Amino acid sequence: MDRETILAEIKRTSRDGKALGRDAFAKETGIPERAWSGRYWARWSDAVKEAGLEARTMQGAHAEELVFDKILGLAERLGRFPTIPEMDLERQSDRSFPNSRAITRRWDRKKLFEELIAYASKTTERAELIKLLQEAMPQKTAKQKEDDAGSPDYGHVYLIKSGKAYKVGSSRAVYNRTATVVRQAPLGGELIHTISTDDPEGIERYWHDRFQKCRINGSNKASGEWFHLSSAEVAAFKRRKTM
């Protein structure tokens, strides 16, 4: 799939001068993210801009995508995570940049970093930016560490999609782990869902056993965590928030 064909499809599927969102475009045209991400553009917004269009403002996940793209773009230009005054200054010159007050109402600082790292991990082109975010991520205070010491050792079992395959793994630092997995996967990847649990290893084994018939066998240990899953099996995993 060449660059000009993709640009032509972006223009063809636009509405009132605004391009479809990343997922809507893939569904409408059958052109997967891997056809352009990391090959022609690092971000969907870059492709839309080259096509001479504006990004469509959307609700829910698509609205979050726009927020994350804007913050990550500013971080890339500054070479560090932007301060609130820097976000406000950016908004003066770019009215599509999200309001800093809306950002802080929606996410606390640590959660925002986690979400940005997970989103940036969808493309291998942002490896340096991910490293920057990981280094700048807020650390727990002494009081939080003290509280954690008396609490169960919670972690997550995660589901990552890469191409047509899914990885089921466990981690007590799920967003950092996701970034590593996505960087190493030849086709990149996307964090689909996480399950919070005080027994990450045990719950991971449960899902491995449940999906045993779908396992992708390979020559290395990590290959045992990859599966070909049906939409029903993915939905079953996503129904669980905690275990």
Domain boundaries, the chain: 1-56, 58-139, 149-238
Q: How confident is the model at residue 150 (pLDDT cuts 50, 70, 90)?
A: very low
Instruction: Name beta bridge partners: 154.
Output: none
Question: What is the DSSP code (8-state) at residue 57?
Answer: P
Most distant CA atoms of the chain, gap in Å: 58
Q: How confident is the model at residue 218 (pLDDT cuts 50, 70, 90)?
A: low
pLDDT at 211 over 80: yes
**Mean pLDDT in residue range 95-107:** 82
- Ranked by mean pLDDT, the top range of 93-97, 183-187, 218-222 is 93-97
pLDDT in tens, 8-36: 999 988 887 788 877 778 878 888 888 88
d(C-alpha 221, C-alpha 104), whole Å: 41
Q: How far is CA 66 from CA 77, 96, 115, 212, 243, in A?
A: 17, 9, 13, 37, 32
Phi/psi zone of residue 52: left (φ > 0), alpha (ψ -120 to 50 degrees), beta? left
Residue 166 has a pLDDT of 92
Q: What is the mean pLDDT of the chain?
A: 81
pLDDT at 146 over 60: no
Structure-model confidence comparison of residues 115 and 144, the more confident one: 115
**Mean pLDDT in residue range 29-54:** 84
pLDDT in tens, 153-198: 578 899 999 888 999 998 888 877 888 888 787 788 888 888 888 8
Kindly report the backbone phi and psi dihedral angles of residue 49, in degrees, each rounded to the nearest multiple of 5, phi listed first.
-65, -40
pLDDT at 225 over 80: yes
Do the beta carbons of residue 174 and residue 166 sit within 8 Å? no
